Amino acid sequence: MSSVFGKNLIVTIFGQSHSKAIGVCLDNLPAGFEIDMEDLSDFMKRRSSINKPYSTKRKEKDQVEFLSGLVGNTTCGAPLCAIIYNNDIKPQDYESIKNILRPSHADYTAQMKYKGYQDPTGGGHFSGRMTAPLCIAGAICLQILKSEGIKIHAHIKKIYDVEDISFNPIGNNEDNIKKLMENDFPVIDINKGILMQEQIHKASQNLDSLGGIIECAVYGLPAGIGDPMFDGIENNISKAIFAIPAVKGIEFGNGFSCADLKGSENNDAFYVENNKVLTKTNNHGGILGGISSGMPLIFKVALKATPSIGIEQDSVNLSQMKNEKLRINGRHDPCIVPRAVPCVEAAAAIALLDMFMSFRIWR
Ligand SMILES: Cc1cc2nc3c(=O)[nH]c(=O)nc-3n(C[C@H](O)[C@H](O)[C@H](O)COP(=O)(O)O)c2cc1C
């Protein structure tokens, strides 16, 4: 097993939900970049479950400790390694269900691949907890991209039957982003956020869970980043986004709905303004031929409902190879979507900085 991403910027994530620590190594970061530690800590808090009524009762502070790669707060060119200690662990929660497969979780496939040697507590390396080191790497990449004028923002587009408004695909989004930054719950329309939280609460009361959709937008990305075929922007962002457990789908621009449109409806007409080539619409989501067009890069990510639910489910006891009922107690997010919003920004930032490093010659 290895969790390694990247061609220029190499990101390696290690640890398990209940191991002593989890962490990330970053190779080839540009030297001389001063990390804003307060900004990094604020970013980590957006993923954390602390002070979030709709998330797991497992409360980890997610205090980041840098082991290498920095002199003071500035990258020195050496591999950067950062860890977070796991403090709030309760392996006993998993003892009674150790041999019973959790439907829609990775227990069965992990067993088939690692022959029983996998760490089962808290989902081991398959856990949503592994998105904490993903967010450390992402926070650093976001800061570097921001220093180059590239900004990445995500919000909850949909939970169950409640939908937020969308980012503007062609132009200025300052107003929507300002509203988003002011809300603790990551939506543009605060009233829709209240309705979403009510739906999550209702599902949790019924011992059930919910999924949803996250929309992400990248502004300021110059035209000309990416490659055709295997190394396109869609390929690389998708690979990084699927590192987030529970992600089941991604669509760029108008995505699957492009199949319903005629060429005359789907094509984004070009025009020139202030010596810059732009498109009148943005069905292509800022990517043509795997390469950035200079228009906002927009994509949506679908997440399934949290697999661990309190409702009794049919399953299999693997040690006895017989059918058995399963009721999961433990501590779980009734809806993963709000905490996955910074994870989506982080994954996009890692993929884009990796590609940006082929485009931009660093000092
Ligand atoms: C931030 C975050 C938190 C998660 N918390 C839980 C949880 O509390 N309980 C659970 O069953 N799954 C949780 N998941 C999802 C599972 O880890 C995931 O569904 C499982 O590993 C199987 O992977 P797959 O859904 O990608 O196939 C979480 C995912 C994320 C991103």
Q: What is the CATH number of the domain that holds 256?
A: 3.60.150.10
Determine contact, residues 138/218, Cβ cutoff 8 Å: no
Q: Where are the alpha helices (DSSP H) in the chain?
A: 37-47, 107-114, 131-147, 174-182, 190-205, 233-241, 263-266, 337-359
Residue 68: CB atoms within 10 A of its CB come to 11
Question: What spacing in Å lies between the alpha carbon of 122 and ligand 1's midpoint?
Answer: 10
Determine contact, residues 216/345, Cβ cutoff 8 Å: yes
Question: What spacing in Å lies between the alpha carbon of 129 and ligand 1's midpoint?
Answer: 8
Interval 175-215: pLDDT, tens: 999 999 999 999 999 999 999 999 999 999 999 999 999 99
Q: Which residues pair with 325 in a beta bridge?
A: 314
How far is C-alpha 353 from the chain's CA centre? 15
Average pLDDT value for residue range 325-347: 93
Q: Which amino acid is at 159?
A: I
Rounded Cα distance, 34 and 252, in Å: 32
pLDDT higher than 80, residue 51 = no
Q: Report which protein residue has its CA nearest ligand 1's atom 31.
A: 128
Q: Report which protein residue has its CA nearest ligand 1's atom 3.
A: 128
**Ligand 1 close to Cβ of residue 69 (< 6 A):** no
Rounded Cα distance, 156 and 243, in Å: 18
Average pLDDT value for residue range 10-33: 96
Question: What spacing in Å lies between the alpha carbon of 173 and ligand 1's midpoint?
Answer: 31
Q: What is the dihedral of CA 305, 121, 331, 190, to 10 degrees?
A: -50
With a threshold of 0.85, does the pTM exceed it? Answer: yes
**Ligand 1 close to Cβ of residue 307 (< 6 A):** yes
**Ligand 1 close to Cβ of residue 124 (< 6 A):** no
Candidate from 3, 112, 156, 306 with most ligand 1 atoms within 8 A of CB, to mutate: 306
Per mean pLDDT, which range of 43-57, 150-164, 262-276 is the poorest?
43-57
Residue 90: CB atoms within 10 A of its CB come to 14
Average pLDDT value for residue range 326-353: 94
Determine contact, residues 120/62, Cβ cutoff 8 Å: no
Average pLDDT value for residue range 98-110: 94
Question: What spacing in Å lies between the alpha carbon of 252 and ligand 1's midpoint?
Answer: 23
Rounded Cα distance, 119 and 166, in Å: 40
In this prediction, residue 88 carries a pLDDT of 80
Query: What tokens does 41 get?
Result: 């800590």
Q: Is the dihedral of CA 215, 2, 350, 15 positive or negative?
A: positive
- 146 to 32, 141, 300: CA distances (angstroms): 15, 8, 21
pLDDT higher than 70, residue 123 = yes
Per mean pLDDT, which range of 148-162, 227-241, 326-340 is the poorest?
326-340
pLDDT higher than 60, residue 31 = yes
Determine contact, residues 283/253, Cβ cutoff 8 Å: yes
Rounded Cα distance, 349 and 351, in Å: 6
**Ligand 1 close to Cβ of residue 332 (< 6 A):** yes
**Ligand 1 close to Cβ of residue 333 (< 6 A):** yes
Number of domains in the chain: 1
Please give the DSSP secondary-structure letter assigned to residue 51.
T
Q: Which residue segment(s) compose the domain that 221 sits in?
A: 4-359
Q: Is the dihedral of CA 337, 310, 125, 69 positive or negative?
A: positive
Report residue 278's pLDDT band, with 50, 70 and 90 as the boundaries.
Answer: very high
Q: Where are the alpha helices (DSSP H) in 151-274?
A: 174-182, 190-205, 233-241, 263-266
3-class state of residue 275 by DSSP: coil
Determine contact, residues 309/207, Cβ cutoff 8 Å: yes
**Ligand 1 close to Cβ of residue 23 (< 6 A):** no
**Ligand 1 close to Cβ of residue 128 (< 6 A):** yes
**b/e map of 223-260 (b: 16 or more CB within 10 Å)?**
eebbeeeeebbbbbbbebbebbbbbeebbbbbeeeeee
pLDDT higher than 60, residue 363 = no
Q: Which residue has the higher pLDDT, 219 or 90?
A: 219
In this prediction, residue 361 carries a pLDDT of 62
**Ligand 1 close to Cβ of residue 126 (< 6 A):** yes
**Ligand 1 close to Cβ of residue 308 (< 6 A):** yes
Question: What spacing in Å lies between the alpha carbon of 306 and ligand 1's midpoint?
Answer: 6
Residue 34: CB atoms within 10 A of its CB come to 12
Question: What spacing in Å lies between the alpha carbon of 45 and ligand 1's midpoint?
Answer: 18
Interval 212-263: pLDDT, tens: 999 999 999 999 999 999 999 999 999 999 999 999 999 999 999 999 999 9
Rounded Cα distance, 115 and 256, in Å: 38
